[in-house]
Amino acid sequence: MKFSIITVTYNDLDNLKVTYCSVKNQTFTDYEYLVVDGGSTDGTVDYLEYIKNNDSRVRYVSEKDQGIYDAMNKGVKLSAGEYILFLGAADTFYSYDILDIVCNYLSYGWDAIYGKCEYSSGAKKGELIGHKLTHLNILLDKWIAHQSVFVKRDLLINYPFDLKYKTYSDQDFMIKIQTLKYKLKYFDKIFCYYDGLGFSASKENEEEKRLEKMNMLKTYYPFLYLLRLCGHVIKGYFGW
C-alpha cells in the first residue's frame, strides 16, 4: 500500500465527513484511510462504522488518548502504508489528483516531500502556509504545515512525535529528520486546504507555541536561538 492517510479527531463529526469525502474522491486509490478517534460521543463512531462497512480502505480506532500527538503516534503504529499523511478533520486535498501527483514525486526516492497548504477558513482564509525548512525561514517563523507532508512510515516509527510538545511536535519531527540528513524535498505547490481553526491555530496557545519554538531553536540551532533571544530583549527594551 502506497499511502496511509490518518485523521485524528474528537467529537467533530461534521468536519470528519468533509475530510473523508475529499479523501474518497482522490483519483489515486492505493491508500487506506485511518481515523484515530479519542472516544467521541457525537455519533462519530457510528459514522466510522458505517463508512468502514462500505469502504474497504477505511479503518478506525476509538479510545481515549493523551492528546493530538499521542493519537498521531498511535495512528502510525496502526498504519500499513509506505508513506503517511496527516489530515485533520475539516482539512481537504487541494484537488482530486494530489495523490497521483505525489506518487510521481516519490519515485525519486525521497524520505519525505512537503509543500504548501491554503487556509480554507478563519481570519487567514486564502493565505498560504508551508515553507522550505531553511535557517532563515525558521528564524522568521515560516514553518511547515503537516497537512502537506508525506513522510515514510519507517521514519515516524523510528522517530515518533515528542509528547513534550503540545503544538509543534510535527515541526520538531521535520527539523530532526532534516538534521539527521534524511532526503527531504520541498515543492512550491499547494497540496491541501488547511482548516485553520484547530488546536495549534488557537490564539489561546500563542505563548505555548512561542516557548516551544524557542526550545526547538535552542535544541537544533543554538545560534538562531541566541539571535531570537536578542530580538526579544531588544523589543522588550524599546517597548516594541
- Split at pLDDT 50, 70, 90, the class of 217 is confident
Per residue in 164-175, pLDDT (tens digit) is 999 989 999 999
Q: In this structure, what C-alpha cell is assigned to residue 78?
A: 496502526
Q: Find out whether 19 and 93 touch, Cβ atoms under 8 Å.
A: no
C-alpha to C-alpha distances, 146 to 40, 48, 55, 151, 225, nearest whole angstrom: 23, 23, 25, 10, 23
CA-to-CA dists, residue 210 to 16, 105, 179, 214, angstroms: 29, 33, 21, 6
How large is the average pLDDT for residues 211-222? 86
**CB of 150 closer than 8 Å to CB of 114:** yes
Residue where the block lists cell 510521481: 104
Q: Max alpha carbon distance in the chain (Å)?
A: 62
**Digit-coded pLDDT (tens) for 72-85:** 999 999 999 999 99
Average pLDDT, the chain: 90
> Is the per-residue pLDDT at 91 higher than 60?
yes
What is d(CA 104, CA 99) in angstroms, rounded to the nearest whole number?
9
Per-residue pLDDT for 218 more than 90? Answer: no
| pLDDT of amino acid 204 | 63
Q: Is the pLDDT of residue 9 over 90?
A: yes
Residue 196 pLDDT class (50, 70, 90 cuts): confident
Give backbone dihedrals phi and psi of 23, rounded to 5 degrees, phi first: -65, -50
Give the per-residue pLDDT at 238: 39
CATH 3.40.50.300 fits 3-201, yes or no: no
User: Would you kindly state where each structural domain of the chain is located, as residue ranges?
Assistant: 3-201
Over the stretch 32-49, which tens digit does the pLDDT of each residue have?
Answer: 999 999 999 999 999 999
pTM tops 0.85: yes
Of 17 and 141, the one with more pLDDT: 17
Distances (CA, A) of 109 to 2, 90, 138, 152: 13, 30, 25, 10
Say if residue 65's pLDDT is above 60: yes
